[in-house]
Chains A and B, each alone.
Chain A
Amino acid sequence: MPKRSWQRRGKAAMDLIEFFSNHVFRMVFFGTTVIGIVSGALGAFAYLRKQSLISDVIGHAALPGALLAFLMAVVVFGINGRNMLLLIVGAVVTGTLAALFANAVAARTKIAIDTAMAISLTTFFGLGMLLLRMIANNPYPGKGGIQDYLFGNAASITRADLTTSVAVGALALTLMIVFWKEFTLRTFDPVLSTMLGFRARVIDTLMFSTIVIAIVIGVKAVGFVLMVAFVVTPPAAARQWTNTLPGMVALSAVFGGIGSGLGAYLSISLGNVPTGPVIVLVLFSIFLMSLLASPKRSIVVTALRRVRARKALRRELMAEGRNP
């Protein structure tokens, strides 16, 4: 693993001015925050459609696509193989193929959906690892650091990458807002939405594409392997605080953004810790706190209430028995 030594003199903590005056740190901070916001907002739909794990499949399966895009760029077009847009396109293609493959296997054979997802995930990922090895064995230009697709390297985010992430993320969010009504109906009442004539397949494809985009824009900063956490964790946390869809999408985006920004800051100021995993841990902490502290659904409060209610019920039933 390349060392993520953030080239700074040994100091216990970093003040915000020093942090934001550094170009690389700024890029890392804003890049990961944008990714967090976009994947948080779109992850809410994946969560509500009960398709959280498919994002793990898409994340792993995006690897061969990104690597094929690299090979295409270098071998066919002779351009920079690590062009962010090309990388996203490649990742979206194989990520989508893997999800379609898993669904087709589950629908057309006796294999259950979870096994179908596992088959899809490992096969595509195995292909990715073969390509990675092949690229490593050959003298392609610009292949240095291509291993970062796995776990990301936030320090490698350039201004152009940030622009691309923002543009693609904005496109996905725009799609979400434009088709808000259709997405909502399709999520909560698929049968009604088909009856009302919204073309189910079109809406599904659109919604699915935005989710795939939410997963793959994180490749450079976070890497494909951990992106599942960006899509699954913020909505799971947000769900504990709100019952409405707009509330959930907004809060999930906020959690994603805050978690990513905070994680980026922590990883840099602690020094020598990879950014993606730190963000994942921050997001997970937000989730745990939501489980504990949310006013209506806190697990502690709920558990206590349940024990009390069951005790009261038992007493009530006993009392009925004594005076029939």
Chain B
Amino acid sequence: MSYVIGVILLAVITSLACALPGVFVVLRKNSMIVDGISHAVLPGIIVGFALTQDLNSPILILGAALAGLLVVLGNEWLSDTGLLAGDAPQGLIFPALFAAGIILVSMDLQHAHIDTNAVLVGDLNLAVFPALIVNGVNIGPEYLYVMLAVLAVNAAFIAVFYTRLKLTTFDRQFANVLGMRTRLLNTAFMFLVSMTVVAAFKAVGAILVISLLVVPAATAQLISKRLSVMMALTAVFAVAGALAGFWIAYVLNTGTSAAMAVFYGAMFVTVALTAKIATHIRRNRRSSKSTAAAISAPNVGAVAGE
């Protein structure tokens, strides 16, 4: 497999793996929790790397994902104490864990040579190495298969739990009355999100992974009346952004993930503005139509009024 195709495939698969759970992240209003998770998994990744010496290791991915879950549960616990106002509980734990991670990186105890730049944005162009060789044939980057596995797990989870996820997200109390284990489902889902963040870290880093998770789904929500439509549109936006991001990065000779994040942002703004204008036009047309109807049949209204 050629280098360029490897990078493109990796961008597409990574964006899809992140965007699918992103739909529920956005609808559950958990976007800033993901911000917390993505910062907090850093020490988990560094320690995991020291132990496994392999960023693709499943043990590292699951272990560091637990660190992310810790933030979710820690945030919940801090809110439950009732001692803190507003969204402050969400802003206290993750900077501390991230700071610990940065200290670990700078100490370079395990000679990981992860530079801080890569911590924030990753490097998709480097993530394609090493390639997986089967029977002497290069079948693409090893990391591509890691992300494929994550995509498969995410897709399977969403497929199996679709009705449950939908109902607990929309109307948690009703789901509880139907006997659904909403808390367990929520924890499992956040673990999955955390795992996705850790797996995508190498390609897109701690901060831009938020973009991949949140922005395609948010863009889709702007113009979706139904959840199934939103899921499909999210996938479309995710892939479009991955391709465009790769192309922009290629032309400008810059990082693919940063270009993807910027393109996603621009895409969101464009769709938001277009949707606004479209509803505006529709509303105008509707109101002019109803005025016309009122003028053409004034007597009917008068009779009905009496």
Contacts and interface: CB of A to CB of B under 8 A. Distances in A.
Interface of A: 1, 3-4, 47-53, 55-56, 60, 105, 108-112, 114-119, 121-127, 129-130, 132-134, 137, 147, 150-151, 225-226, 228-229, 232-233, 235-236, 239-240, 272-274, 276-278, 280-281, 284, 287, 291, 297, 299, 302
Contacts of A52: 86-88, 90-91
Contact of A226 (B84, B85, B98): B98
Given A150-B116, A226-B95, A105 B100 contact: no
Chain A CB within 10 A, most for which of B29, B99, B252, B268: B99
Contact of B107 (A114, A147, A273): A273
22 contacts: A47-B88, A52-B91, A112-B26, A112-B31, A114-B87, A115-B218, A122-B207, A122-B264, A123-B211, A125-B261, A127-B261, A130-B255, A133-B258, A150-B116, A151-B102, A229-B95, A236-B88, A272-B106, A273-B103, A276-B99, A277-B100, A278-B99
Interface residues of B, number: 59
B92 A277 contact: no
A299 B81 CA distance: 7
B276 interface: yes
Nearest to A129: B258
Contact of A232 (B34, B92, B255, B272): B92
A94 to B, nearest CB: 13
Given A117-B32, A122-B210, A51 B105 contact: no
Contacts of A233: 92, 95
A50 B87 contact: yes
State the majority secondary structure of interface residues on B. helix
A119 B265 contact: yes
A240 B26 CA distance: 32
B35 A226 contact: no
Interface of B: 26, 29-35, 81, 83-88, 90-92, 95-96, 98-100, 102-103, 105-107, 115-117, 120-121, 207-208, 210-211, 214-215, 218, 221-222, 252-255, 257-262, 264-266, 268, 272, 275-276
State the majority secondary structure of interface residues on A. helix
A142 B120 CA distance: 23
Given A126-B265, A147-B116, A281-B100, 6 more contacts: A112-B29, A118-B34, A119-B215, A132-B117, A280-B95, A284-B96
B106 A273 contact: yes
Given A47-B86, A111-B221, A129-B208, A236 B100 contact: no
A50 B85 CA distance: 6
A111 B218 contact: yes
Contact of B103 (A119, A274, A284): A274
Given A115-B218, A229-B96, A129 B120 contact: yes
Contact of B214 (A115, A130, A134, A287): A115
Contacts of B253: 137
A130 B262 contact: yes
